Structure 1
Amino acid sequence: MLAAALGGGLASLASAHAAEGMWTLDNLPRTALQQQYGFAPDQAWVDHAMQASVRLAGGCSGSFVSPDGLVLTNAHCVVGCVQGLSSAQRDLQNDGFVARTRGEELQCPAEELNVLREITDVTGRIAGATDGRSGQAFIEARNAEKGRIESECVGDAAATTRCDVVELYNGGRQHLYRYHRYSDVRMVFTPEYDIGFFGGDPDNFNFPRYNLDAALLRAYENGEPAQVANHFRLEPAGAEPGELVMVTGHPGRTQRQLTVAQLETVRDATLINTLLWLAERRAMLGEYGRRDPEAARQAQSDLTFTDNSYKVVRGQLQALLDPAVFAGKREEQARLRARADAAPWDAVAAVQPLARELAVPYMLLEQGRGFDSRLFSIARTLLRAGDERAKPSDARLPEYQDAGQGRLRQTLMSSAPLYPEFEIAKLTWSLTKLRELLGTDDPVVGQVLGARSPAQVAKALVEGTRLADVAERERLWAGGAAAVSASDDPLLRLARAIDAPARAVRARQESEVAAVESRAAQQIAKARFDTLGTTVYPDATFTLRLSYGDVAGWQEGGREIPPFTEIGGLYARATGAKPYALTPRWLEAEGTVDKTTRFNFVSTNDIIGGNSGSPVINRDARVVGLAFDGNIHSLGGNFWYDPRLNRTVSVHSAAIVEALKSVYAADTLVEELLAE
């Protein structure tokens, strides 16, 4: 069954499973929707859905739910904003927050919302710029042309426009996505941590669930709530079992179209190294949080996301350790390869030994996991921004080109608080891992540590830096490379010391591995297009997609898993001890809240990380739920979709309304959400 779900040959790919697929909105499976559900969305429906859907630039999804810029997303998607607004004296993350008037809404330190306005095919321009090139020349030509396209798109509207050139079908298509950008985003509502994450890690990626993983933001322009032409309306009745539901959101990354050789590298190098790093980071954060309540608060969100990531990566690794997965992938690849030149698959396989060799140094140096500190990230950004901004935009590293300057600067200048002891703890641990994984005699390790211990180095760096001061960051940003070079800040000196080796490992990975894979992927994509055209969907790329399915439970272990839970189940599940402890608000509301209200539900929609906060809508484009998770079987969704077991987990629209009304007394927000 699994092999059939994975491949089953090209015929099965051409007629995707009932709910499989993360479809771009300019290539929806209209015929399948009509045949399976009697639903054929017209262009007006698609345009409305596109412009009512929202991307949180930090890695989540959302949607406009009122004409005054109100945005519905997950509580776990706004943790960065909430923590940035919190302190030891005002703990919004654990106490929750409700703005009862517009004047009480709090500006997030570094949140950005993007709304897709236009998609343009720029495949020809990229192909023309890279034709006949290979290796580093290919990478530089591709990045330069992407930068030119993005800069032309942004023009002089950087404050309100974001443009991204996106690779689809592993480089087989290149599309330009133009977004409207909102950089003034304010917190309106978030529940207490213990109800937004009720059940904690034991319930994570499981069902039944009882989470109010919902939050409200508001987009502002020129100091006033943004007036939006397209928004979804909330449908408290929700959807019934078997009813068509669609998710419009921004899935992060899938790897369903990788070759078998690439998947072996993912399994044997990428995932195992990441899993070990996350496991040890989880232990370090837990130990730090046990110092005292304030330390626990500081580490709370990092620990939550590390727990979540560990579970995801472990599930992905388990999926790739299943022989049936590779059997299905090999069968699929063999069928396609038999209809095309085998050279691109051989080329990809040939560079995988180097990819595995570079995996650890790339993770530690270029990805920065050997320097796990927000302060270090600030230092590296200032250093590279100074160096890169001195070059023409199209000659820079992609993340420093002109088109992305607005978001880069906004993140760098975030006023979110920094905690020195927490920074020291993370940096001490990660420097220890750097020495362990690269070896004491490695030149980078020697340069970083010298004759001192990781703890001594971390303490000196954090206590000696001035980068916690936003004004100092502003000064260095404005002064560029000269100001950064003249600074004696110890973290800037560290960033400078490791920049050359980090850039070197990046250059090798890009020119000797990624360039070969990208070239081959274009050839493989052409073979796929020659056979199937665009009747298959591209891998996820954190761009707007639509997935369709229906409300449905599943069978497992001889029992039926029903699709809905009710609020009453929350009280039945509560034990009074974390992670099943109810907050005072919810305990006080037990006598007034309607316990028969549907709380969470599952559907067959095909989603992945990045879809968090996506609206679940019906055929009338009304919100019936809010996607926040998948079940345990969905963790293999990075590589395939299994229609028997993969499920999306969502907050029911009725639960959002009932909670706001009966628990949080947020009647004004309820009125705004339900206004016709």
Structure 2
Amino acid sequence: MSILSRSPKRRFFASLLGASFLSTGIFGAFSTAHAEEGMWTFDHLPISQIKAKYGFEPDQAWIEHLTKSSARLSMGCSASFVSGDGLVMTNHHCAVPCLSDISDKKHDYYTNGFSAKSNAEERQCPGLEVDRLDKITDISDKVSQITAGKEGDAYNKALEAYKAQVTKECVGEDKAKWRCDVVTLFHGGKTALYRYRRYNDIRIVTAPEQAIANFGGDPDNFTYPRYDLDYSFMRAYEDGKPVHTEFLKFDVNGPKEGDLVFTSGNPGRTQREYTASQLILERDLNNPRLLNYLNLKEGMLWQYGNESAEHRVQSQDTLFFMLNSLKAISGTRNALTDSQFIQSREKQDASLEKWMKASPERVKAYGKPFDEIEKIISVQKKIGDEAFIWAVTTRSGALHEALALVESADQRQKPDAERDAGFHDSELPALEANLLAEKPFYSDFETANLALDLTYGRQILGPNADLPVLLLGKENPDKLAARLIKGTKLGDAKNRKALYEGGQKAIDDSKDPLIAYAKRIYPAYHNFKTNYRNQVEIPLRKVGEVVGKARFEQAKSLKQDGNLYPDATFSPRLSYGQVKGWTNAHGKEIAPFTNIENLYRHATGEEPFKLPDSWVKAESKLTASVPVNLVSTNDIIGGNSGSPLIDKKGDAVGLIFDGNIEGLVGDYYYDGKVNRAVSVDTAAIAEALNKVYGEARLVKELENGKQ
């Protein structure tokens, strides 16, 4: 299971992976694609390469249809529309936050699944937004113009002022329906404005039991053969009615071996063109630090869940994602600790540096960016631990929401052009949707999480360091966490809404202990963010722009500029490949498909290989030869979860939910011989809906493309 989640409540580990405090990137700016490699923007597709290898040339109508039928979930997944009545297909694990949030003491929808037999029974997912790409505009020249000659805070102010202006113009008068994001591509080499159609009334339609969606659990995770029905369906509403959209036809037969297939999704984050120095920083400091923290968090979650049935329900989705994250990050160490990989990157760096120094004109144009990178890395080494502790303490849970209320009140007092990123008028609807949504609040769980984070900060930095002293004062972590969480009223969405709408005065007047705590630490928190941005993020962007331009020019000189794609940015991308198995490290041929017959053979009756009762009862009804999962050579990464697998007709034939263990190096490079994307076959989804769950209403909609 592969996911880059954005939910601040329980998916804290994902915020660490994507946290700006922890971004090391510089990045050599982009990759040169080989074979099926590449996560391509929709305005720069490798059409000639696809035609040369597969004899298929996507035309503009095909591209437009795919663009308008694809979607992004705000919590960090991909999706697609599969009927003209707003039906959205994504993974079960992408619906987990929704299923957990709508559960109660009588209903555990995460474990037992959910099924709406009519539109009226479909349940709204708190805070969830679905975005559909509408338009991409290149604004690189303007960004370069307004930031030219500026450094640090001056650079940031100019950039944020322009972002406020351009996104406000892009959104227009209807912020509820449109979202506009400024997306940095090639790590500063290009900047684009992405306009999305927003849908913020999203309701769950159906999802299977966790036991079949994640059949095999952690032992099977990132392995193959696989037997998971990791799917769910939602519906987008507007003004109380299902929206009418373009959609992908749902092919109930699925693909065949050797078929050309595409994925349309939102890969989250890759580092394929990090310099060797950056990779070494990841290997020696960032990766071990994150693994250490996640291991501690995992232990806390197991202990908490074992205390009672109620605690198990409260923590099970977080533990599920935690185990996935640990396995994924551990897998990336295979690349980082591979000396040949580091050496090959050193050779690439040396080649580019030599090219930049080959003439006085190039020296003048590009300067010494690799020297600048080393200076930035030295800063990251000095403040990395402090950045990490700020991130783990403030980027999830109730404290995250308290700080968001305090910071948004402070930022909204300023003119739009003077605000920090994330608080411009055009960005507030997304903030409000998540911050003000009605979600369950588990006091014991929040207390346990905050106590561990505070304890960890003291252990890493030492009890006398400035940050632990600020965060703890004279209290110990357990008592402080208990006092703040037990006393807060922020678990009630009405109270959060009152504070948000009341602005700075409401924050100033608040007696809530968690708000008081957030107000106390906010000045230091904001100062650290500002300093980190000025010392690390902006210098990285500026040097990335230089390196990006150099790589473009170098590629042009080699006639390879058409083969360049940017690192992942959780924005819409297309990848292509074919349904194909591989030969593993032991010389075993891995077939591309699994089937229902072998699903039952794989079942043992004991977790995590225990089938839900619905599947035990339905065994005699099911066709043994129906494929369950399949692999393809598509280039994917976390964030692609929920991406449709599409054939050349533009029909949905599968649903991406994972990658194989060999593909975990995909953060850093793609190896077409062994990297594989893992999908649920649409034939299996249709078979399950028909014969296991009796979802005749939904099957008819999928077959007809409408209700």
TM-score scaled by length of structure 1: 0.96
Q: Which residue is 2:657 aligned to?
A: 628
Q: Distance in 1 between matches of 2:433 and 2:531?
A: 30
Q: Kindly indicate whether the alpha-carbon contact (under 8 Å) linking 2:31 and 2:567 is maintained by their aligned counterparts in 1.
A: no
Decide which of 460, 464, 467 is 1:437's aligned counterpart: 460
Q: Which residue is 2:482 aligned to?
A: 459
Larger displacement relative to structure 2 (306-315 or 62-71) = 306-315
- Counterpart of 1:552, as a letter, is K
Q: Distance in 2 between matches of 1:461 and 1:617?
A: 49
1:643 Cα deviation (Å)? Answer: 0.9
Deviations 1:109-141 (A, max 9, x none): 111000000000111111111010012221222
1:27 and 1:637, CA in 2 relative to 1: closer, same or farther beyond 3 A? same
SS where residue 398 of structure 1 aligns? Answer: coil
CA RMSD of aligned residues (A): 1.5
Q: Which residue is 1:92 aligned to?
A: 109
Q: Is 1:380 equivalent to 2:412 in the alignment?
A: no
Q: Distance in 1 between matches of 2:697 and 2:614?
A: 18
Q: Which residue is 2:59 aligned to?
A: 42
SS where residue 23 of structure 1 aligns? Answer: coil
User: 1:45-194, aligned counterparts within 5 Å?
Assistant: 45-194=62-211
Q: Kindly indicate whether the alpha-carbon contact (under 8 Å) linking 2:267 and 2:636 is maintained by their aligned counterparts in 1.
A: yes
Q: Kindly indicate whether the alpha-carbon contact (under 8 Å) linking 1:413 and 1:474 is maintained by their aligned counterparts in 2.
A: yes
1:497 Cα deviation (Å)? Answer: 1.9
1:373 and 1:461, CA in 2 relative to 1: closer, same or farther beyond 3 A? farther
Q: Which residue is 1:546 aligned to?
A: 574
1:372 Cα deviation (Å)? Answer: 7.0
Larger displacement relative to structure 2 (374-383 or 354-363) = 354-363
Q: Which residue is 2:380 aligned to?
A: 355
Decide which of 644, 652, 656 is 1:615's aligned counterpart: 644
Q: Which residue is 2:13 aligned to?
A: none
Q: Which residue is 2:338 aligned to?
A: 322
SS where residue 370 of structure 1 aligns? Answer: helix
Q: Which residue is 1:345 aligned to?
A: 370
- Counterpart of 1:196, as a letter, is A
Q: Is 1:529 equivalent to 2:552 in the alignment?
A: yes
Q: Is 1:595 equivalent to 2:624 in the alignment?
A: yes
Q: Which residue is 1:298 aligned to?
A: 314
Q: Distance in 2 between matches of 1:446 and 1:353?
A: 25
Q: Which residue is 1:270 aligned to?
A: 286
- Counterpart of 2:625, as a letter, is T
User: 1:275-290, aligned counterparts within 5 Å?
Assistant: 275-290=291-306
- Counterpart of 2:563, as a letter, is T
Decide which of 665, 668, 671 is 2:697's aligned counterpart: 668
Deviations 1:480-516 (A, max 9, x none): 1111111121111221222222222222221112222
- Counterpart of 2:437, as a letter, is S
Q: Kindly indicate whether the alpha-carbon contact (under 8 Å) linking 2:436 and 2:493 is maintained by their aligned counterparts in 1.
A: yes
**Displaced runs of 4+ in structure 1, greater than 6 A?**
none
SS where residue 135 of structure 2 aligns? Answer: strand
1:260 Cα deviation (Å)? Answer: 2.0
Q: Is 1:222 equivalent to 2:266 in the alignment?
A: no
What are the ranges of 5 or more consecutive residues in structure 1 without an aligned counterpart?
A: 1-9
SS where residue 279 of structure 1 aligns? Answer: helix
SS where residue 393 of structure 2 aligns? Answer: coil
What are the ranges of 5 or more consecutive residues in structure 2 without an aligned counterpart?
A: 1-27, 357-362, 556-560
Decide which of 613, 638, 645 is 1:584's aligned counterpart: 613
1:173 Cα deviation (Å)? Answer: 0.6
User: 1:382-531, aligned counterparts within 5 Å?
Assistant: 382-531=405-554
Q: Kindly indicate whether the alpha-carbon contact (under 8 Å) linking 1:373 and 1:426 is maintained by their aligned counterparts in 2.
A: no
1:271 Cα deviation (Å)? Answer: 1.5
Q: Which residue is 1:6 aligned to?
A: none
Q: Which residue is 2:265 aligned to?
A: 249
Q: Distance in 1 between matches of 2:349 and 2:465?
A: 40
- Counterpart of 1:345, as a letter, is F
SS where residue 24 of structure 1 aligns? Answer: coil
Q: Which residue is 1:3 aligned to?
A: none
Q: Kindly indicate whether the alpha-carbon contact (under 8 Å) linking 1:565 and 1:599 is maintained by their aligned counterparts in 2.
A: yes
Q: Which residue is 1:652 aligned to?
A: 681
Q: Kindly indicate whether the alpha-carbon contact (under 8 Å) linking 1:370 and 1:433 is maintained by their aligned counterparts in 2.
A: no
SS where residue 235 of structure 1 aligns? Answer: coil
Q: Kindly indicate whether the alpha-carbon contact (under 8 Å) linking 1:55 and 1:115 is maintained by their aligned counterparts in 2.
A: yes
1:13 Cα deviation (Å)? Answer: 6.4
1:285 Cα deviation (Å)? Answer: 0.4
Q: Kindly indicate whether the alpha-carbon contact (under 8 Å) linking 2:214 and 2:228 is maintained by their aligned counterparts in 1.
A: yes
Q: Kindly indicate whether the alpha-carbon contact (under 8 Å) linking 1:554 and 1:562 is maintained by their aligned counterparts in 2.
A: yes
1:267 Cα deviation (Å)? Answer: 2.1
SS where residue 400 of structure 1 aligns? Answer: coil
1:318 Cα deviation (Å)? Answer: 2.6
1:45 and 1:373, CA in 2 relative to 1: closer, same or farther beyond 3 A? closer
Deviations 1:433-488 (A, max 9, x none): 01111211123322332333211111111111111111111111111111111112
1:216 Cα deviation (Å)? Answer: 0.1
How many residue pairs get aligned? The number is: 662
Q: Distance in 1 between matches of 2:290 and 2:31?
A: 31
1:223 and 1:136, CA in 2 relative to 1: closer, same or farther beyond 3 A? same
Q: Distance in 2 between matches of 1:528 and 1:451?
A: 53
1:580 Cα deviation (Å)? Answer: 0.9
TM-score scaled by length of structure 2: 0.92
Q: Which residue is 2:3 aligned to?
A: none
Q: Distance in 1 between matches of 2:285 and 2:524?
A: 21
SS where residue 565 of structure 2 aligns? Answer: coil
SS where residue 432 of structure 2 aligns? Answer: helix
Q: Distance in 2 between matches of 1:69 and 1:524?
A: 43
SS where residue 271 of structure 2 aligns? Answer: coil
